[in-house]
């Protein structure tokens, strides 16, 4: 008899995701990915000054803060023909790179780790053994001291003694599938705390340039922060010295702490390289941070990793890179609470419609699955195919194009772990790919982006703003533009149409939408659903403690607020069709 399982709230993600499952004999047989929040921000942007749009759409998400702002600004600049100076582009690249490194670190330690790490077990660990364990896995992180491990063990013990488990309340701590020894758990909890401190420090790169974080400020046409080595009120040597330190910290943390930890954990849970595969189709326009103001085949504006081109890997062939044609992107609403005028068809982003058509139950409710429509998330498809985006897609694409550093890290990890490249399409594979990418991103920031910025500064290149296109009078009466950016969770694009100085149409196609969307008209499941119920083999030992599906869903790093990118391309007020 199939048993129904509801995971809602699915915690340790951004936003609101509900997963409904049917399981039988310890395996998942059916899955529904259900996004339960809708805000309609793109509708709200319509009619506004396009120079303000970044601030609105930035609020799509505060976890991947900055990324929507950068995508928006590139799309608007593409539309109005603004040409931000190189230094401004480099500043955006630095902010984006620092956001991505911070985001991956936060995801691994604070959102994902408790799927693998048993926190209360850390209280029983010998701190000396935790130090030894760290050494054994090649972690040279400076926090691996006996004093630190002892203090962290005492903290965990204190929480257990108080009888109030705070954020650890209700965790599945007696689940049989927590496999790490106590000393590894203690080390991981220590690194969890170290990672909090680390991210507080390194996100200041965004603060120096954007004034605050989350939600730093950006500017159409460049950046508002001035740079001048001989002025106290501009970014000068004082700030560049600080940034150099923070970048060095980032490389150090990722190299000596995050990557060894990730390798060790997926090594212990190696069967998860055979669990959680989604459709073997992958899309990226380059490596992390790749940015295009306009056509992704010839409008690159980013400075780093230019050798990796946009493309797709399809049908489990990890060697053949297919060219990317943006016109093959379509969104379906077969399973989402919207209706299209033309019925159950796929629409390209520039023709997209959003008419709310809620057919679900009035809350409170118990079960949404089995209905045709069950989510606020549309289902994007490329040439009709469900697609995976994100770190795993980018790592595989870079690998296929022979990117040397990616190949080196991936081959090293694969050898250590004894896995094949195709096994990156899995729960553990997505988690490993994120760590690999975090390292290449921190390195390129340290080795190319920041040094180029400093070199330009040295040669007197101080301009950060294109004033010639600021005044709306300088814009065409009607124009449209778009952007593609590879952000922490995958491929992001923003599309804008400007008429007479106002936003006439706005649209975002967001990474999590690709992944979290539901079934399409052909009955293809979305990648989340496929990863859980694609082959009937995904484990779920105890439906009361759904640890295994949490591991798989977390491996995608869901960002649900991003996923529901509801818009109204015609600028007409949203309509709700009562049902």
Partner 1 sequence: MAYGVSGWREPTLAENLARAGVARRDFLKYCGELAAIFTVGGLAVAGTAGPAAAATTPVPGDLIAEKLGAVKKPSVVWLQLQECTGCMESTLRSGGTTVEDAVLNLLSVNYNELVMAAAGEAANKALDDTNAEPHILVVNGSIPTKDGGIYCTIGGKSAEQVLRESAKNASAILAVGACAVWGSVQASKPNPTGAVGVDEIITDKPVINVSGCPPIGEVITATIAYILTHDDLPKTDSEGRPLFAYDQRIHDACSRRAHYDAGEYVRTFDDEGARNGWCLYEMGCKGPSTFSACPVIKWNLGASWPIGSGHPCIGCTEKQFFDRFTPFYQTLPNVTGLGIEASAEKVGWGLVGATVAGVGIHAGVTALRLASSRRASEGSEPLQAFGDSERVWLPTPKRRVADPSGTGDAPTATEVAETPHVKDADASGEAE
Binding to partner 1 in span 432-471, by CB under 8 A: 462-465, 467, 470
Q: Is 43 in the site for partner 1 (CB under 8 A)?
A: yes
| Comparison of 63 and 259: residue with beta carbon closer to partner 1 | 63
Query: Closest by alpha carbon to 278, among 526, 31, 551, 546?
Result: 526
Nearest distance from C-beta of residue 387 to partner 1, angstroms: 25
- The stretch near partner 1 (CB under 8 A) out of 226-234, 253-261, 342-350, 439-447 is 226-234
In the window 528-557, what residues touch partner 1 (CB under 8 A)?
544-546, 550
Nearest distance from C-beta of residue 341 to partner 1, angstroms: 19
Q: What is the DSSP letter of 117?
A: -
In the window 317-346, what residues touch partner 1 (CB under 8 A)?
337
The helix or strand, by DSSP H or E, that contains position 509, with its residue range, turns out to be: strand 502-509
Number of residues that bind partner 1 (CB under 8 A): 114
**CB distance 116 to 551 below 8 Å:** yes
Asked, as a colleague might, if the bond just before 364 is cis with ω within 30 of 0, I would say yes
| Comparison of 216 and 276: residue with beta carbon closer to partner 1 | 216
Nearest distance from C-beta of residue 338 to partner 1, angstroms: 12
| Comparison of 212 and 351: residue with beta carbon closer to partner 1 | 212
| Comparison of 446 and 462: residue with beta carbon closer to partner 1 | 462
Burial (CB < 10 A; 0-12, 13-18, 19+), residue 576, is exposed
Buried b (16+ CB within 10 A) or exposed e, 34-72: bbbebeebbbbbbeeebbebbbbbbbbbebbbbbbbbbb
Q: Which two tokens stand for residue 95?
A: 């902010």
Q: Which two tokens stand for residue 481?
A: 């533009």
What character string, x for contact with partner 1 (CB under 8 A) and - otherwise, covers 102-121?
----x---xx--x----x--
Asked, as a colleague might, if the bond just before 3 is cis with ω within 30 of 0, I would say no
Q: Is 298 in the site for partner 1 (CB under 8 A)?
A: no
* CA distance linking residue 263 with residue 432, whole number of Å: 7
Coil, strand or helix at 355? strand
Q: Which of 83, 137, 171, 252 touches partner 1 by CB under 8 A?
A: 171
Q: Is 221 in the site for partner 1 (CB under 8 A)?
A: yes
Asked, as a colleague might, if the bond just before 9 is cis with ω within 30 of 0, I would say yes
The C-alpha angle 415, 418, 422, rounded to 5 degrees, equals 95
Q: Is 74 in the site for partner 1 (CB under 8 A)?
A: no
Nearest distance from C-beta of residue 269 to partner 1, angstroms: 17
Give Cα separations from 120 to 153, 167, 169, 173 (angstroms).
9, 12, 11, 7
- The stretch near partner 1 (CB under 8 A) out of 30-38, 263-271, 343-351, 414-422 is 30-38
Nearest distance from C-beta of residue 549 to partner 1, angstroms: 9
Q: Please, which residues have CB within 8 angstroms of residue 163's CB and are 6 or more apart in sequence?
A: none
In the window 470-499, what residues touch partner 1 (CB under 8 A)?
470
Query: Closest by alpha carbon to 290, among 456, 105, 67, 443?
Result: 67
Neighbours of 326 (CB within 10 A): 20
Coil, strand or helix at 441? helix
Q: Is 240 in the site for partner 1 (CB under 8 A)?
A: no
In the window 359-388, what residues touch partner 1 (CB under 8 A)?
360, 362-366, 376
* CA distance linking residue 240 with residue 227, whole number of Å: 10
| Comparison of 170 and 323: residue with beta carbon closer to partner 1 | 170
In 280-403, which ranges are continuous DSSP H helix? 391-400
* CA distance linking residue 87 with residue 457, whole number of Å: 8
* CA distance linking residue 199 with residue 353, whole number of Å: 39
Report the C-alpha dihedral over residues 223, 226, 229, 235, rounded to 10 degrees. -80
| Comparison of 269 and 273: residue with beta carbon closer to partner 1 | 269
Q: Is 242 in the site for partner 1 (CB under 8 A)?
A: yes
Q: Is 565 in the site for partner 1 (CB under 8 A)?
A: no
Q: Which of 124, 126, 145, 193 touches partner 1 by CB under 8 A?
A: 193
Q: Is 154 in the site for partner 1 (CB under 8 A)?
A: yes
Q: Which two tokens stand for residue 163?
A: 């009888």
- The stretch near partner 1 (CB under 8 A) out of 47-55, 439-447, 504-512, 531-539 is 47-55
Nearest distance from C-beta of residue 455 to partner 1, angstroms: 20
Coil, strand or helix at 433? helix
Nearest distance from C-beta of residue 353 to partner 1, angstroms: 15
- The stretch near partner 1 (CB under 8 A) out of 206-214, 250-258, 392-400, 512-520 is 206-214
Nearest distance from C-beta of residue 224 to partner 1, angstroms: 4
Q: Which of 61, 254, 277, 397 touches partner 1 by CB under 8 A?
A: 61
| Comparison of 144 and 561: residue with beta carbon closer to partner 1 | 561
* CA distance linking residue 477 with residue 76, whole number of Å: 14
Q: Is 204 in the site for partner 1 (CB under 8 A)?
A: yes
* CA distance linking residue 144 with residue 147, whole number of Å: 9
Nearest distance from C-beta of residue 436 to partner 1, angstroms: 24
Nearest distance from C-beta of residue 359 to partner 1, angstroms: 10
Give Cα separations from 444 to 87, 95, 97, 309, 485 (angstroms).
17, 13, 9, 16, 17
Q: Is 39 in the site for partner 1 (CB under 8 A)?
A: yes
Q: Is 561 in the site for partner 1 (CB under 8 A)?
A: yes
Residue with tokens 């400020």: 217
In the window 406-435, what residues touch partner 1 (CB under 8 A)?
none
In the window 495-524, what residues touch partner 1 (CB under 8 A)?
none
| Comparison of 151 and 421: residue with beta carbon closer to partner 1 | 151
């Amino acid at each position: 008899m199939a048993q129904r399982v509801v995971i809602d709230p699915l915690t340790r993600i951004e936003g609101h995701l509900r997963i409904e499952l049917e399981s039988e004999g310890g395996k998942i047989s059916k899955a529904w990915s259900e996004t339960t929040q809708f805000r309609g921000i793109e509708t709200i942007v319509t009619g506004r000054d396009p120079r303000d749009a970044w601030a609105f759409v930035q609020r799509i998400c505060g976890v991947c803060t900055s990324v929507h702002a950068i995508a928006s600004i590139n799309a608007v600049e593409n539309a109005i023909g603004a040409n931000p100076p190189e230094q401004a582009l480099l500043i955006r690249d630095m902010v984006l790179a620092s956001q991505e490194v911070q985001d991956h670190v936060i995801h691994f330690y604070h959102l994902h780790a408790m799927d693998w790490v048993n926190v209360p077990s850390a209280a029983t660990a010998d701190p000396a053994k935790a130090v030894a364990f760290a050494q054994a896995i090649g972690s040279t992180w400076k926090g691996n001291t006996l004093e630190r491990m002892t203090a962290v063990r005492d903290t965990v013990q204190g929480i257990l003694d108080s009888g109030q488990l705070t954020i650890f309340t209700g965790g599945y701590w007696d689940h049989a599938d927590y496999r790490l020894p106590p000393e590894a758990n203690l080390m991981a909890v220590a690194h969890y705390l170290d990672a909090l401190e680390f991210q507080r420090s390194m996100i200041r790169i965004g603060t120096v340039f954007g004034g605050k974080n989350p939600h730093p400020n950006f500017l159409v046409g460049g950046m508002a922060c001035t740079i001048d080595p001989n002025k106290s009120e501009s970014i000068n040597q004082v700030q560049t010295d600080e940034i150099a330190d923070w970048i060095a910290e980032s490389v150090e943390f990722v190299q000596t702490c995050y990557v060894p930890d990730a390798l060790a954990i997926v090594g212990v849970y190696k069967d998860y390289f055979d669990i959680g595969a989604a459709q073997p189709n992958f899309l990226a326009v380059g490596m992390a941070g790749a940015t295009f103001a306009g056509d992704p085949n010839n409008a690159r504006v980013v400075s780093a990793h230019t050798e990796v081109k946009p493309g797709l890997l399809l049908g489990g062939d990890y060697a053949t890179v297919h060219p990317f044609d943006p016109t093959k992107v379509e969104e379906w609403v077969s399973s989402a609470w919207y209706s299209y005028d033309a019925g159950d068809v796929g629409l390209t982003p520039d023709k997209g419609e959003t008419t709310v058509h809620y057919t679900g139950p009035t809350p409170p409710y118990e079960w949404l699955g089995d209905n045709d429509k069950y989510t606020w998330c549309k289902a994007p498809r490329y040439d009709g195919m469900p697609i995976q985006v994100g770190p795993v897609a980018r790592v595989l694409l870079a690998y296929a194009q022979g990117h040397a550093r990616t190949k080196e890290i991936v081959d090293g990890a694969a050898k250590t772990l004894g896995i094949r490249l195709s096994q990156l399409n899995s729960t553990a594979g997505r988690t490993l790919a994120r760590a690999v990418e975090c390292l290449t991103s921190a390195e390129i920031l340290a080795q190319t982006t920041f040094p180029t910025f400093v070199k330009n500064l040295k040669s007197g290149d101080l301009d950060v703003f294109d004033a010639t296109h600021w005044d709306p009078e300088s814009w065409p009466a009607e124009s449209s533009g778009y952007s593609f950016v590879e952000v922490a969770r995958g491929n992001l694009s923003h599309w804008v149409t400007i008429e007479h100085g106002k936003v006439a149409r706005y649209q975002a196609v967001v990474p999590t939408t690709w992944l979290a969307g539901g079934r399409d008209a052909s009955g293809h499941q979305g990648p989340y659903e496929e990863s859980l119920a694609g082959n009937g083999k995904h484990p779920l030992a105890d439906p009361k403690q759904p640890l295994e599906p949490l591991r798989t869903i977390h491996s995608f790093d869901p960002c649900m607020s991003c996923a529901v990118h509801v818009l109204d391309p015609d600028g007409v007020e949203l309509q709700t069709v009562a049902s």
